[in-house]
Each structure stands twice: as C-alpha cells, then as structure tokens.
Structure 1
C-alpha cells in the first residue's frame, strides 16, 4: 500500500510550555484537543490538521513504557532528522513576527525559482524550514505594480525640490524592502567621488558626507562599470566597505548598491543595507526600477568635495 499523507511528527522537548509557545506564537499553529495519555504533552494543529505532538523528554516510567524506550533514550530520539519543512503564506508577516519576538532566522532564495525560504530553530534546536511560493510573498516581493510606478513618476515630477524626490524614492524602498538603512549618493562630476544626498539615518550617515571610491572594487564595479554590486554576508561587507563595523553594528548582513545611469554613465548610486545575508533578484529589480525613475532628477555635483566620512 502506498503512503497517503503525513499524520504527525513528535518532538521530545525539555520544556513543553516553551515549545508550545514557540510553535503557536512564532509559527502560528494552534492548540488541538489531546486525548488522555499517562504523561504530559500537547498537540498542535495547522488549520484542522493535527501535525505536531509534544512530549516531555525524561525518564518517566509511563513515558518509557509508552514509547518502548530505555532510560536515557528519550533525550536522543530514534534517529537523526535534519529539519522539518512546511509550506507557508505571507512572508512579510512571518518576518515581522519573528523580528518582534527577537527570534533569529535565516532567509534563503532558491536559484532559478521564485521560492523563498525561512529557517528557524525551536527551543530544543529542531530546525524548521518554511517555504513561501511566489504567490505567498506579498508586499515583501519588492516589485512595483503599474499603478505604483505611475504614481511614483507623477510624484517625482511634481516634487518642488530634490530632497522631496529623494524622500519619495525612500518611501517606496522602505515599504517594499524594509532595509536597515537606505541612502542615495550623487557622483561628483566625472570623478570617483560620491556625495550623500539622502540617508534614512542621518545620525549615522549625515547628508553631505563624501567619499573617494578611486581604486576600490566598488568604484570599478558601480561607478566605472555601471553594474550592480551585491555584498552578501559579513565577510563581503568587510571586504568591500571601510565602514563595515558601522554597517554590521546597525544590523546589516548584506548591501545592495545600484547605479543611477544616464546616457550610459553612472551619475549616482542607490544603497540599501539589508538584514538578510542574501540579496534577492526581486530586490535588485526594484532598486533598478527606482534608479531609472530617479535618473532625470539626480544631478551630477559640479565640484569635488573633500572626503568627510565613509559613503
């Protein structure tokens, strides 16, 4: 007979209540009725399907008899299971929930696929994999609708000054990408200098700050090559940015630098410091779209300015 469905999985936990709260509050499961058993435990469900059983990992005689175990075996289980995977919906809501509860997680995208994943561990160290199909990404997907695009272009054309245009771009970035930090740099003439014209955190990165990118990988890639630069993970940030300690202290785990291009020349850069260690394709797409919209309104600065702080 073939298998027909998954019935449930059992987690032997050191603390039933802590595990129960994690699966309910962090992952959105719900309590389910549990029939009588001669040992403590809990059943949890997704919708109407009971899929998780919790039981205390100890040497209670009733529990050992129920599971057919010897003393000490309940702490190790019956084999090595690497992780448990679920499909999920609303990626943005999940990330907000985990962040609000200070639960560490890792996000990953599958190459050549629209699938996004989140990995998190329960109180006993069990790895949980959450899979979000493309139609479950919600506003975290990062792409602009036709209406959003048209509205943004109209808002930029009606803006009375550059600062207003920069704020409009920043509002879209924060709505879709929720970066740790977003900034806009204008290139100083045809030099390798950049001057910051907008920053979401002006205390850490004051507007007007400049930096010479001559002789750097950033300068060669973004300013001369007019190419996107992705710096993924702490080590890449350290290699590409001399202000890496400040970036990491802010909580950044990746950087996305997208050139603003006019007539084939980089005239500025959009910069997003992100919480996740991987830069995703839709994040690049959004930033490139915004760079294209901003290009007519981003002016080259006419005169070099002395270095003032890391840009």
Structure 2
C-alpha cells in the first residue's frame, strides 16, 4: 500500500502551493476543471499526490474546513533527506523533530513536523541511519 493523495482544504491556496512546490519539491500539474479553485501537485509526471482545494466556499454540512491533521512523506535515502533539510533551511521553514524508537525489525526513524498554516501539519520520516549521514 502507498499514499495515493491527500486533499487539503485551505483558505490560503498560494501559501500551501508554494510550500509543496518550493520546499517539498512537488510539481504543479494538470487538474480537471472543477468549479472550486485548487491545485494538483505531482511527485512524478504521472500521479498527483496532493490536492489543494479552496476553503472559501461554504463548508458541506458536517465537514469542517480547513481539515486534515497531517500527512506524511517517507524519504527512502540519505540524499533525499539531506536535500529536504537543505530546502527547509534555504526557505526558512521551521520544523520540529522527533525520533521513533526501533520496534522489532523496523529500524529507528526520524520525523520532522512542519506546521503549515492554516492548521495543517506535514510530517517527513526516514530511517535514522539516513538522517545521520
């Protein structure tokens, strides 16, 4: 199983888009002509992984906006992790880090949490060995 996409409903589309493009490294791509403003952001040429939707339209009953607690991106090697850290530092984006202890055969991991306004947290995770390179 892998992450297909996450939809983030926000009143600040441009800030969210800049974060995902400038820091995370996603690419703004094709999006169907919905009646609500938004962006589809791609991790590769064929698959949008983040859908950003404008929260300025009235919320559907029972569904608050903005919404999503957090989504997580897994980085599989030290080069990806170091590149992310470089982009976070270059853009001045603040983050908090945490360590996930080893659990059985799963190695210890490092997590970075970025509070992305308004009220959405983005997690990046990698094996501890990748973060120590």
* TM-score (ref. length: structure 1): 0.36
CA contact (8 A) 2:66 2:118 kept: no
Cα distance, 1:108 vs structure 2: 2.0
Partner of 1:123: 117
Cα distance, 1:5 vs structure 2: 5.3
Partner of 1:54: 52
Partner of 1:281: none
Partner of 1:141: 132
Q: In the aligned structure 2, how far is the partner of 1:76 from the partner of 1:116?
A: 27
Partner of 1:193: none
Distance of aligned partners of 1:93 and 1:7 in 2 relative to their CA distance in 1, 3 Å threshold: closer
Residues 1-311 of structure 1: matches in 2 within 5 Å?
Answer: 6-47=3-44, 48-59=46-57, 69-70=60-61, 73-77=63-67, 81-88=68-75, 89=77, 90-112=80-102, 113-133=107-127, 137=130, 141-142=132-133
Could you list the per-position Cα deviations for residues 92-146 of structure 1 after superposition, in whole angstroms to 9, with x for gaps in the alignment? 22122111211111122222334222111222221111111356x2xx525xxxx
CA contact (8 A) 2:10 2:66 kept: no
Give the ranges of 4+ consecutive aligned residues of structure 1 lying more than 3 Å apart after TM superposition.
Answer: 4-7
Structure 1 residue runs of 5 or longer lacking an equivalent are 143-311
Could you list the per-position Cα deviations for residues 73-108 of structure 1 after superposition, in whole angstroms to 9, with x for gaps in the alignment? 55254xxx4321111242222122111211111122
Higher strand share: 2
Secondary structure (helix, strand or coil) at the match of 1:75 reads coil
Q: Name the larger-Rg structure.
A: 1
Give the number of the structure with larger relative contact order, counting CA–CA contacts within 8 Å between residues 6 or more apart: 2
CA contact (8 A) 1:57 1:74 kept: no
CA contact (8 A) 1:13 1:54 kept: yes
Higher helix share: 1
How many equivalent residue pairs?
A: 125
Could you list the per-position Cα deviations for residues 239-286 of structure 1 after superposition, in whole angstroms to 9, with x for gaps in the alignment? xxxxxxxxxxxxxxxxxxxxxxxxxxxxxxxxxxxxxxxxxxxxxxxx
Q: In the aligned structure 2, how far is the partner of 1:115 from the partner of 1:98?
A: 19
Q: In the aligned structure 1, how far is the partner of 2:90 from the partner of 2:3?
A: 31
